[in-house]
Each structure stands twice: as structure tokens, then as C-alpha cells.
Amino acid sequence: MATIAINIHMNMLSYKPNLSCTSGRKAPKWSSCNVSSDGLRPLSVQRSTAQPSDIIRRSGNFHPPLFDFDYIQTLNSEFMEERHLRKASELKEQVKMLLEGELIMESVEKLELIDNLQRVGISYHFEEQIKQILNSIYVKKYCGKNYYELEKRDLYSTALEFRLLRHHGFTVPQEVFDCFKNEKGEFKTSLGDDAKGLLQLYEASFMLTEGETTLDQAREFSTIFLHKTLNAGDIDENLSLLVRHSLELPLHWRIERPNARWFIDAYERKPDMDDAVLELAKLDFNIVQAKHQQELKHVSSLLYVALQRGRWVIVDGGNGEAEAETNAVVVAMARWWKKTCLAETLPFSRDRVVENFLGAMGAFAKPQYGYERTIVTKVNCLITVIDDIFDVYGTLEELQLFNNAIQRWDIEAIEQLPNYMQVCYLALYNFINDVAYDVLQEKGLLIIPHLRKSWADLCNTYLQEAKWHSSGYTPRMEEYIKNAWVSISATVILCHAFFLVTDQIEKEPIQNLYNDHGIVWCSGMILRLANDLATSPDEMKRGDVPKSLECYMNETGASREEAQEYVRFLIRETYKMTNEKRVADSPFSEAFIGCAVDGGRMAQYLYQHGDGYGIQKTEIRDRLSSLLFEPIV
């Protein structure tokens, strides 16, 4: 079974998807009576095709939203007030002085400070100072000589230094850990008494790339001894809490802001915590949370999947301007609603505006990415509706019609669709034109062919899964992965993200976006595999297409537990590739690579304890509340 698994894995990793834009495709036909002179403004359709009433449709039995439109519109925070912003500026100067105090701080203390700043979520304020410190350490120890081989090193500082340097893109050899091995090439068992060092070794081991066996050994060794340490109860409560948190999910796989919310509480309990760092961390979290609340109010009114009269409605204001009062929002929605004639019911789909905003917040963590978060939230909402059409509601014949319309990208194709599909098609059509219009104005580039191709590829994979489901076919693992890493929608999200965060858009990176299966493929794979691990049982009960676990079990005869371990293995292997792509020469900007990496991390967060998206549990409510609605006191 192991040989089969490895062969499947290697075939899967070598697969290169065909995502290049089709050349020679005809431009969409524009209806002159429904489009403005710029050629890119929203269209409306007056025709309606009645739905057959005798079709038996499935139900996803999706839960209602945890936070509805009315609740979101009542959000109000004091932390956007000038007094809080002024206090934050004062605290930033104090922390900056800590970082610049080279004469009064040892190297390991500076590393610990940088680590703490990253963990509590405020390092983005001090990127220049942090880079200078790490560059100084790197030049001193790793440039021009094997200084790391001569220096007497302790496990804690070595692993901490290694992790921070690699995190910031410095090339540090895994051989820095050779001095902790015995003559057999194994890590010395005496290290098992150093719990702090083991924890840092464990965290550092997840920075590995393919072929780095020392770091693979480090992960296995530290995991075993950390579990032994916990079981023995030999460490204090604070360290025990950190160890449990890391064993649950390593730091390198965690999304920044949720982890910051957790670590701020842990940092407050540390005996050596710094008051200025703690106060700034709390205040900055609350200020950014207030900004996120305003964005959420904005996006929920512009792309609002509202429950009106027991019906779902998609609304997109399209003008990019937030309304200050709820009644003004209603007026704006009504005006747009009348203009587009987008009045239909979608009672089967999930209302997950808040969760979709959370996903965008993960990929675009820095506060200045407000517009990007808004756009990607809209992308996520549209993906959710279309996914539910293909997974739950649409008949195979209807899905083929919808996919044909997407592939043609011709507004006249809407006439062939049932009424509920017209809503989705038109919403997507207008949304893409809106985004393209903004990019054309700002960057002088027409991106409609690229955006529509990403959606066309997504719908192709959705249709393939619908055909598998209709015929009762269970694909081979490799066959499933070729389709599923696209159907998880990372390619669509990252296509939009690329044009949003890339300042100088050139032909080469655009082509690599579609042709190169590197960083985009890695993000899609992690999202897909994490999703499958969490949602497979519930989706199988609902009668969905088999996921990676079922495909692997069917092909190899493995048990569910063995299939789960194999999928976890694939996630680890994909992270190795991700780590390599992060630091390799790339036509992509650092900002875009960060979005792709954080997309995979967001998947780990959403699906860590089951389906945190489709099933509305108390745990996900608490998580969302702590991140978006409850300030730190």
C-alpha cells in the first residue's frame, strides 16, 4: 500500500493543469440597451424562464447564518476614535526603541522579541527594524564561512534563529542541527529534558523543503518527546499551554490574526512579558477589528445574501461606496435592485457572508488591504452560491446549460437558463465587469479574459464532479486530485488576488499564474485536502461525490484511518513545496505569494475542528465573535 501511495503522490505532484487563457476566443456580445458606454458596467435581464415544478431536488440542510444582516449593521466600535489611534502611535515608538536597543539586548533576546511581536500580530509595524536585525545576524553567521559549525550552540536559540530567518526568506542550512545528533545521525535523547528547546525544534522543523531529512527527523523526534513531556507533567502551566497549542497545529501552518488573538492571552501570562508590547498588541487588535467591522458592514450591504421573506437574495451595489445608515443602505440596494432586475429566490444556498469575510481576512491580513478583502469576500460569496447549485440543487441538464453559458461568456446565453440560474449568472457577469473596470481604471489593463477563464475552469470541475455523482463513479485518486484542486476554488480566488495586489502587472507573471502549478497549486492542494479531511463524513451522508479519502480507500483497500493519515502526509509534502516556492526566484510579487500561502493556512483554521464553514457550530461562532466582534479588554 505504501508503494502505491507514493506513486500516486508523485504523479499528483507532477501534474500540470491546463489553465492558460484560450487564445482567439470571441469577445462577449454586449447588449447596447443594457450596457453603459464604458462597456464594463452591470447588465440587467428582463426575461425569465420558469422552473419546472415537478423536479425533485436535493437539500444540503444548511444551517442559517450565525450573524445576520441586521446584527452586522449594528456593529459599532470606539477604537476608531482619535484617542486610541494616538495612543497606539505612542506605544509603537516605545516598542521601536526596544528593537533598536542593540547595546542592552543579547541576540537571543532580540530574537525572542521579534518572535513575540509576530505572534501577537504587530510585527507589520516594525518590518524595517526586524529585517535589519535578522540581516545582521545572517551576515554575521551564515555568509562566507561556516560559522554555525564552529559556534557552541544551544538547541533553543539555534531553532528559534533558524525558524525566524527562514520565515523571512533567508537561506539557512539544515546542517545547523547536526551538532545535536549522535554518531548514528540521530538526535541525542538527552535533548528530551529541554522542553523549551524541543518546542522550538518542533516549530522550526515545519520550515523544511523537499529532501531535508534532518528536519523530518527533527519533527518526529520533537513530537515524540514533547508528548512524553506533557504526559509526565514536568513543565509549568504556561509552557504546557504553548506545547499543546503547537502540537495541535504548528505555528507555520497557522493564520496570523486568529493565532494573535490566542497568543495575546498567553503572552500576558508570561513572567517576562513587556508591558508596552502587550498594551500595543491589545490596542492594535481592537483597532484593526474595528476596521474589519466597517468593512464587513460595507460588504454585507453591497454583496449581501439576505434572508428576505424567507428567500435568499444576492445584492451587489457595485459603486464601491459604503452607506453610513441602514436606511440609506436599503435605498441603495433597492435602487440597484431595480436597475438590474436581479429579483429571484435561492433558498437552497448557504448564507456565509461573515465566514467568507473571514477567509478574505486571512489571505489579506494587513489592515491596508481593505478593498482587496471586500472583493475577495464577494468572490467567496459567489463561489458558495454556485458551488451549492452544482452540489445540491441543480439537475445535471441544468448544470450543463449553466456551464455552457459560463464557457461562452455571452449574456445572450442567459435566455437558456432556468430563472434561479439567471440570478447567479448575471450576478457573476456583473461582478467580473465591475472588478475589471476598477483594474482598468487603476492599472490600464483589461483582465476580463483572465477572470472569466478562472471561473470557467472552476465550473468545468464542478460539472465533472456532478457527472461523477450522477453516474455513481468513484474516480482514482490521481484523477480526483487533477479535478479537485481546482474545484476547491483557490485558482479563482488567487486569480482575483493577483490583479489586486500586483502593482506592475506584466505578461510573464500572468502566464505563470495559469501555467505554473507551483505556489497556486500548493495553495489549492492544502485547501482541498484540509477540506476533505473535515467535510468528507457529512458530505457522504448528503450523497455528495466521493472525496480524496473515499477515492484512496476505494483504490487501495485502505481503512478510513489509513486514508486520513495519507491525506495528512500529502498536506505535509505540499507544505514542503510551499516552503520552497516561497523563497525561490519567482515572477510573482511577495504580496501575492503571501496571499497564496495564507490561503492554505486559512484552510487549516477553518477546517481544523471539522467543517467550520458549512456546519454552524458553537465553536465557529465563538471563533468568529472573538475575531470580529469582541474587543480585547
For 588-598, the pLDDT digits (tens) are: 899 999 999 99
Task: Return the pLDDT at 140.
Answer: 87
User: CA-CA distance, 537 to 418, in Å (whole number)?
Assistant: 31
pLDDT in tens, 81-90: 999 999 999 9
pLDDT in the model for residue 38:
38
Structure-model confidence comparison of residues 515 and 583, the more confident one: 583
For the cut 70, the answer to whether the pLDDT of residue 543 exceeds it is no
Lowest mean pLDDT among 222-231, 417-426, 546-555: 417-426
Other residues' Cβ atoms within 10 Å of the Cβ of residue 338:
11
Q: Please count the other Cβ atoms lying within 10 Å of the Cβ belonging to residue 116.
A: 20
* Nearest of 499, 509, 495, 369 to residue 439 by alpha carbon: 499
Q: What is the pLDDT of residue 40?
A: 46
Q: Is the pLDDT of residue 520 over 60?
A: yes
Indicate whether this model's pTM tops 0.75: yes
Indicate whether 33 pLDDT > 50.
Answer: no
DSSP-based three-state secondary structure for 135: helix
Comparison of pLDDT for 31 and 168, the residue scoring more: 168
Question: Which pLDDT score is estimated for 296?
Answer: 84
User: Span 162-185, mean pLDDT?
Assistant: 95
Q: How many CA atoms lie within 13 A of 495 on its CB side?
A: 30
Mark 443-476 as b/e (b = at least 16 C-beta within 10 Å): eeeebbbbbbbbbbbbbebbbbbbebbeeeeebe
pLDDT tens-place string over residues 198-253: 999 999 999 999 999 999 999 999 999 999 999 998 899 999 999 999 999 999 99
The pLDDT value given to residue 556 = 96
pLDDT at 18 over 60: no
pLDDT band, residue 17 (cuts 50/70/90): very low
**pLDDT band at residue 494 under the 50/70/90 scheme:** very high
Q: DSSP assignment of 466-529, as one string?
A: HHHHHHT----HHHHHHHHHHHTSHHHHHHHHHHHH-SS--HHHHHHHHH--SHHHHHHHHHHH
* 16-30, 299-313, 374-388: least confident range: 16-30
Where residue 464 falls among pLDDT bands split at 50, 70, 90? very high
User: Which pLDDT band, with edges at 50, 70 and 90, does 340 fall under?
Assistant: very low
Q: Are 295 and 356 in contact (CB under 8 A)?
A: no
Q: pLDDT-derived band of residue 335, with 50, 70 and 90 as boundaries?
A: very low
| Average pLDDT over every residue of 362-386 | 90
* Section 448-462 average pLDDT: 96
Phi-psi region of 61 (alpha: psi -120 to 50; beta: other; left: phi over 0): left
Residue 282 has pLDDT above 90, yes or no: yes
Q: Which domains does the chain have, with CATH numbers?
A: 1-20+474-633 (1.10.600.10), 67-104+291-393 (no CATH), 106-273 (1.50.10.130), 395-472 (no CATH)
Average of per-residue pLDDT values in the chain: 81
Query: What per-residue confidence (pLDDT) applies to 1?
Result: 40
Among 194-198, 366-370, 556-560, where is mean pLDDT lowest? 366-370
Q: Which residue has the cell 445540491?
A: 392
* DSSP letter for each residue of 191-221: GGG-HHHHHHHHHHHTT--TT-HHHHHHHHH
Angle subtended at Cα 592 by Cα 591 and Cα 594, rounded to the nearest 5 degrees: 65
Q: Tell me which of 253-262, 345-354, 589-598 is least confident.
A: 345-354
How many other CB atoms are there within 10 angstroms of residue 250's CB atom?
Answer: 19
**538 pLDDT tier (thresholds 50, 70, 90):** low
Which candidate, 253, 290, 278, places its Cα nearest to that of 121?
A: 278
Is pLDDT above 90 for 191?
A: yes
**Sign of the CA dihedral running 362, 363, 368, 369:** negative
pLDDT for 513 = 74
Kindly state the average pLDDT of the residues 84-111: 87
**Residue 104: pLDDT band with limits 50, 70, 90:** low
State the pLDDT confidence band at 440, using cuts at 50, 70 and 90: very high
Summarize the confidence of residues 490-505 as an average pLDDT: 92
C-alpha Rg value of the chain to the nearest Å: 25
Taking CB atoms within 8 Å and a gap of at least 24, the contacts of 325-328 are 326/73
